[in-house]
Structure 1
Amino acid sequence: MRKGTVPMPSHRQPTDNATTGPRPGVDDAEAALVEHYPRLVRLAYLTLPPTLGRHRRVLTAHATVQHVLPGARKGDQKARVPGQRTPSGSAFAWLRGQVLRAALTHEQPTPWWRVRAVRPRTGLPLVVGLRLFPRADGTDELALDQALSTVNAPARAALALRVLEGLSEQAVRALLEDAGVADPAAAVRTAERLAAHRDGRAGKLLATAEFDPCTVQTRPTDLLRRRQRSRIAGATVAIALAATVLAVSLPGDGSPERSVAGVRAEGSLYGPAGTAALARALDPALLERAPEDAWADTSRIDFSVWPARGGRTDDTALLKRALRVWGGPGPAVRVSATPGTGTAPPTQPPRLLYAGDLDGAAVVLLHDGQRIVRYAEPESGPLPDSVKREGPAPETVKREGPAPETVKREGPAPGGGTPSLDFARADQADLTTAAALAVSRTPDGARYLLAPWIAGSATRDLLAPDAPARGLDVSAEGVTDAVPAPASGGDCVAWPVMALRSSERIVERHSFLVTDLGDPAPAHLTYTPPPGDGAPARGPREATAEPALLSWARTACALRTLRGSGVRAVNNWVFAEQPLPESGGRAAWVCTRADTWRGPGRILVQFQRPASVPTAPGTVVAEAGNTASCGRFGQHILAGTRWKSPSGKWFLLAAGSRDVTRIEAVGSVRANASATTLAVRAPREGSVRLSARLTGGGGLRAVG
């Protein structure tokens, strides 16, 4: 079995059919649909675009399956005699093909005049007054759901057909091609990559309740908005009836402007439909507050279990100002957002994380499930009129979309300045990425509010790997002393980081490092050691041991280029080690990958030659953005550079990750090596193209 292939579950009947088969009779199709209904609905749900939202995806998945039954045709009655019945497997294969074709059309651009012909009717089932969504599971399922949202519908469908239906690659390609997919092979390749999620457990994860649209939870819709719409509808009907009666009973001027003006005047008493929901979300009395020990009794460790802390959590006036500014910041408020973060008002009451006075400013931290919002105002002195006014400005109710990304992320000046509003993404946070939030920034450094599960804190310098960590004082409210920020310019002589340790009530002796990259949440630093001889592939681990600290000592200063870009975590992967020619010592090839909160990653490949100074930076040989390389879904890499030996000769060096079996160079140098590294004499200049072969037979080109 090829690597990444997930076998078909044993409880499924074999359905590896490359075609959808003949059109079955109505009774045969209905019997197959009822028997395999959960499988078909799950296939439709996984294929439909995540942009529909979970409620609409659930309903659309059920409607898609329910509307693929064939219509009755002449001769179906005769076809229902026992000797003429279509085998149930063939009927199911036909239905599966129809469901696949219908679900794929929801993400394909279709002209409006062809929508009805191409896309099936999905009017029923219809749910009024309730929101339906699958039950939430653990962090692994959430991570897989996020990965699925980054690929297209054919890839999601191919993954479902491979790991849930157990079809072969050939059968999946045939089904996708029959459904009108332009590049089925690419979809299958992407599905194979996704199948390796969480060490190949994607099949087991897709079978959980997180992706089961037949096992759902219910919640009410916005009750205030629903009530308001009912009132508006009732008032509109009453006014329309009154206008009709007046038009019939009163002679004379029958101008339509008179009745329309009356409807507009009456409707203006209620305002837009979204105003009530917005007012509810901006009500400080409705702010969510987690219990003090909620973090110790849940399997979901993130910002949703932070209790409200600070000396002004009961200051209604401050909380009201913070929420009002979020709902509609005036021109005097400085607004900033990390890339990919929206600045729209909340749609429901957010969670209060902190409210207090720090370094001459009143600070409020809020969390709406997707974003961290930091409001800060001068602790003393006058406030702008736009902050003091009651209620959001009328035009801000309609404001939506992200703020310009060019705004600098600098907080208010201590003891003065204008109010500020900072937005940052925080979805999919976990024990390490939700461990701290910057609550105040001064010339002395940043002060952090630590997560309630942090039991120990210290600081250390990445450029001094042999120096011990120093203790970091934390107040009773969970706020640290100032931690010096890494210098953004000039000489890179120090790189302070926080060393945090989680409570044993969550995990025993778990320590990790985070660093300030200018965003509200510090970035989590990890380390992947070089591949061992015959050992299985190694995953990222905490950057606390000596090899990790030595690696980061030579890489830390490269983190400068990541400031303010919304980085969630950075991993240093030593993907190869290479003995240098002429007894030049042993060099390391390191790929530094930065993952952002919004998904795309950025990599930097360094060649680290032997050095007498432990902090000597490596040579950057390649970099790339918006790539999966050096991550969970891009585990193969190849890179090269030129190197001058102690005798003054020039060599072409290249190295690949553990699955590389052969490296080839063409151009000004023609050479090959059946190994993970290559070293040949080469001119100092000249174009060279590097490629490699992998264990599974695939090819690989050098990054950059």
Structure 2
Amino acid sequence: MDERTRADVERAEAAIVEHYPRLVRLAYLVLPPSMGRHRRVLTAHALVQRALPRARRHRPDGGLPAQRGPAAETGYDLVRLRALRLALAYEGRPGRGLPVMPQVWGLRLFPRAGGAEELALDQALSAVPASVRATLGLWHLEGLDEEAARTVLEQAGAPAPDAAQRAAEQLDRETGAGAGAMLNSGEFDPCTVQTRPTDLLRRRQRLRAVAALVAVVAFGAAAAGVWQGVRDRPPRGETTAEQALDPARLVRTPNDQWADTSRVDFTAWPVRGRQAGDQELLGRALRVWAAPPADARITATAGTSTRPPDHPPQLLYAGLIDAVMVVVFHDGERLVRYAEPEDATPTLHFARVDDADLTTGAALVIGRGNGWMRYLLAPWISEVTTRDLLAPAAPPHGLHVAPDGVTDRILAPPMPGSGCGRWPVARFRPSSRVVANAGHADDATFLLADLNDLVPVHLRYVPPPSSGGTPAAGPHEATGAPALRSWARTACSLGSLRGAGVRSVTDWAFAEQRLPEGAGRATWVCSRADTWRGPGSVRIQFLPPAVRPTDPGRIAGRAANTAACSPYGPHVVGQVRWRAASGRWYLLAAGSREVGGVDATGGVRATGNENTLAAPAGPAAPATVTGRLRNGAPVPAFGP
């Protein structure tokens, strides 16, 4: 218990009163976005109010005076540190109970909505740890420099303060120089909120239930004998919340519905697993979801809510997987995987899957271990094989699937720090029944890759434009030889997307370029990762001629929360410094099909009237590269 003198406590109280909005804004920023805005608002207020320390008891008369020491921290520094420490404690604990105060009945509270830039920043913040959000708050809200912020982070118990500051610097670069202004906007102000009612029907049902209970208790105080009869009488009806926790009300899709529906996604999955009828197991899983115990482990993909069920969910699976009892639910927006190891802590994993389709709804990770995982397949998958992206010429390997749709163990991609000698993926072939209905070609196979989320990632490929300059076709499945050769050189960059809630990654070969001094042809690839929550990120990769087919390309630029390399951002320009075999350095640049010229200014001055540019330049000579569309509009090049 952090106890202080009476004077310390009075100074701390004055600091809280004077700087209350500032402290609440900092706590709100640090708390996990997965809590939801209403719960974050209430929790931020509660944590700041709990930041007031206790006064230590008076020392007995005749006691020695306190020894002199370092200068006492100010009242504000004290309460800021305590509020920050309390907010950081919620990291990895989205199910942590709400503090006792304050309480709001019948209303939902939300900060005022910001614009597109504030929304993009909020989404970017949801993908980073609490220590990174705390760093940004100390920089932009508190005005601390790096050294002072690091000291506060250490005192608050934030893990790896140096790594948090590096990640914060990266996020600052990706979101632009206006992050400080946006963090001070109404989007992040939990003291200026809007109110909306909760579920009015559910509230009315609860009020009726409370009124009925009060009446029963009052009546029972007067007539204990009648109370016994009332207690034994079954309830007239369940509230919506109670219905959501009733295993008998779980939605169970018929076995063959997937073959006769226009919505081929998780809603078409039938129930599977030997324990699908185990009401005790299902009820236990629903109760843990609704009110996770203090020791439960909770994982949520970036941008995914961990709120309790508000209606009876769909049951997808219940069974034993590698000595772990597993139950999987689908509530229309999320997958929820409940795992119950023997004599161990239960775990919950949440993942957004709204707007899934034939490919992104084709499988989910039903079990995972040290270096391996298993898929549960959609009922429309007729065949699944595995292959290594780093062995593009090797044939795929067959994979056994149990009658309940669970695959044998599959090697998982290497973890960070363990090298990149392989990158296993699974190739899926859908049933001809859904392929014909969906209008796909005869060979509708597709690749999915595990990135440590509950749902695998769909891999696609867009070939380079033809020599005649005609546009390439839209995204192809990454199963053909050109696609596999491209992915062999970019696969290892997938590791940076682990746990980010990525839905699909597309390799777009947007340009080809002849290298100076007869060094062959290079390919420029934009790898775009789209997330389930909406925003996408891109990496521009430069692929020079390779000695081995798996030689990785060079990262030539990147951006987060961008429409680049999508139908809504089809124009792109990349730049890189390249050294020829002679030892001479060049500035290389290339643009997508509509780019008709490229200009370099600054320390390197060059102009080209095509979509590529190669100019002699030192390895560190400053240069600004800009592409020109055929209509004259400029396209700034991505930087590293």
2:419 alignment partner in structure 1? 491
1:694: how far off?
1.2
Displacement of 1:226 in angstroms is 4.7
Query: Which of 470, 479, 485 in structure 2 is aligned with 1:550?
Result: 485
Choose from 516, 520, 525 the match for 1:581.
516
Which of these residues, 625, 630, 633, is aligned with residue 690 of structure 1?
625
1:673 shift after superposition: 0.6
1:596 equivalenced with 2:522 (yes/no): no
- Looking at structure 1, the residues matched to 634 and 575 of structure 2 have their Cα atoms a distance apart, in angstroms, of 16
Which residue in the other structure is 2:506 paired with? 571
Structure 1 match to 2:589? 654
User: How do residues 621-660 of structure 1 correspond to structure 2 at under 5 angstroms?
Assistant: 621-660=556-595
Distance 1:225 1:280, change over 3 A: farther
Per-residue deviation at 1:535? 2.1
User: Aligned partners of 2:452 and 2:377: how far apart in 1?
Assistant: 17
Against the structure 1 CA distance between its residues 150 and 434, is the aligned structure 2 distance closer, same or farther, given a 3 Å change threshold? farther
AA partner of residue 476 (structure 1):
P
2: CA distance, partners of 1:476 / 1:235: 49
Sequence identity, in percent? 53
**Which of the residues 378, 384, 404 maps onto 1:451?**
378
Q: Is the 8 A contact 2:469 2:593 kept in 1?
A: no
Equivalent-residue separation in structure 2 for 1:702 and 1:428 (angstroms) = 33
Q: Paired residue for 1:522, among 456, 463, 474?
A: 456
1:70-81 equivalent positions in 2, closer than 5 A: none
**1:633–1:616 Cα change, 3 Å:** same
Measure how far apart 1:623 and its partner are.
1.1
1:290 is aligned to 253
With over 3 angstroms needed to count, the CA separation of the structure-2 counterparts of 1:336 and 1:275, relative to structure 1, is: farther
TM-score calculated relative to the size of structure 2 = 0.63
TM-score by length of 1: 0.57
State how far apart, in whole Å, the 2-side matches of 1:328 and 1:231 are: 21
SS, match of residue 243 in structure 2: helix
Deviations 1:553-587 (A, max 9, x none): 00011111111111111010100000001111000
Provide the C-alpha distance between the structure 1 equivalents of 2:526 and 2:206, rounded to a whole number of angstroms. 56
Q: Is the 8 A contact 2:591 2:611 kept in 1?
A: yes
Q: Contact (CA 8 Å) 1:222, 1:277: kept in 2 or not? A: no
Q: How does 1:384-403 map to 2 (within 5 A)?
A: none
Cα offset, 1:600, TM superposition: 1.1
Are residues 1:329 and 2:292 paired? yes
What is the identity, as a one-letter code, of the residue corresponding to 1:690?
A: V
Q: Is the 8 A contact 2:528 2:565 kept in 1?
A: yes
Partner of 1:368: 331
1:669 aligned counterpart, secondary structure: coil
Larger Rg: 1
Greater shift in the superposed pair: 498-507 or 531-540: 531-540
Deviation string, structure 1 residues 7-54 (Cα, Å, up to 9, x no partner): xxxxxxxxxxxxxxxxxxxxxxxxxxxxxxxxxxxxxxxxxxxx9xxx
SS in 1 for 2:298: strand
Residue 377 to residue 235, structure 1, CA distance change in 2 (3 Å): closer
Work out the CA distance in 1 between the residues paired with 2:615 and 2:267.
55
Structure 1: tracts of 5 or more residues without a match: 1-50, 52-148, 153-220, 243-273, 382-416
Secondary structure at the aligned position of 2:262 is classed as coil
Q: Distance in 1 between matches of 2:402 and 2:213?
A: 56
Residue 350 of structure 2 is aligned with which of 423, 426, 442?
A: 423
The structure-2 alpha-carbon separation of the partners of 1:676 and 1:561, relative to structure 1 and needing over 3 Å to count, comes to same
Q: Between 484-493 and 578-587, report the one with greater CA deviation.
A: 484-493
Q: 1:620 to 1:224 in 2, by over 3 A?
A: closer
Q: Aligned partners of 1:640, 1:576: CA distance in 2, in Å?
A: 12
CA contact (8 A) 1:503 1:509 kept: no
Please report how far the alpha carbon of residue 695 of structure 1 lies from its aligned counterpart in structure 2 after TM superposition. 2.5
In structure 1, the residue matched to 2:475 is 540
Contact residue 225 and residue 277 of structure 1 kept, 8 A: no
Q: Which amino acid aligns with 1:523?
A: V
CA contact (8 A) 1:530 1:576 kept: yes
Aligned runs of 1:664-679 on 2, under 5 Å? 664-679=599-614
Counterpart of 2:16? Answer: none
Q: Which residue of 1 aligns with 2:495?
A: 560
Q: Distance in 1 between matches of 2:553 and 2:278?
A: 51
User: How far off is 1:626 after superposition?
Assistant: 1.1
- Cross-structure match for 1:611: 546
Partner of 1:504: 432
SS of 1:304's partner is helix
> How do 1:187-206 and structure 2 match up within 5 A?
none
Count of aligned positions: 420
Aligned-pair CA distance for 1:280: 1.0
Q: Distance in 2 between matches of 1:281 and 1:357?
A: 24
Superposed CA deviations along residues 467-509 of structure 1, whole A, max 9, x for unmatched, are 0000000000000001100101322110000000000001143
Q: Distance in 1 between matches of 2:582 and 2:495?
A: 34
Q: 2:202, 2:627 → 1: CA distance?
A: 61
Unaligned runs of 5+ in 2: 1-35, 37-113, 118-198, 219-236, 436-441
Offset of residue 538 of structure 1: 2.5
Give yes or no for contact 1:338–1:424 (8 Å, CA) kept in 2.
yes
State whether residues 225 and 276 of structure 1, in contact with CA within 8 Å, keep that contact through their aligned partners in structure 2.
Answer: no
What's the offset of the Cα at 1:684?
2.1
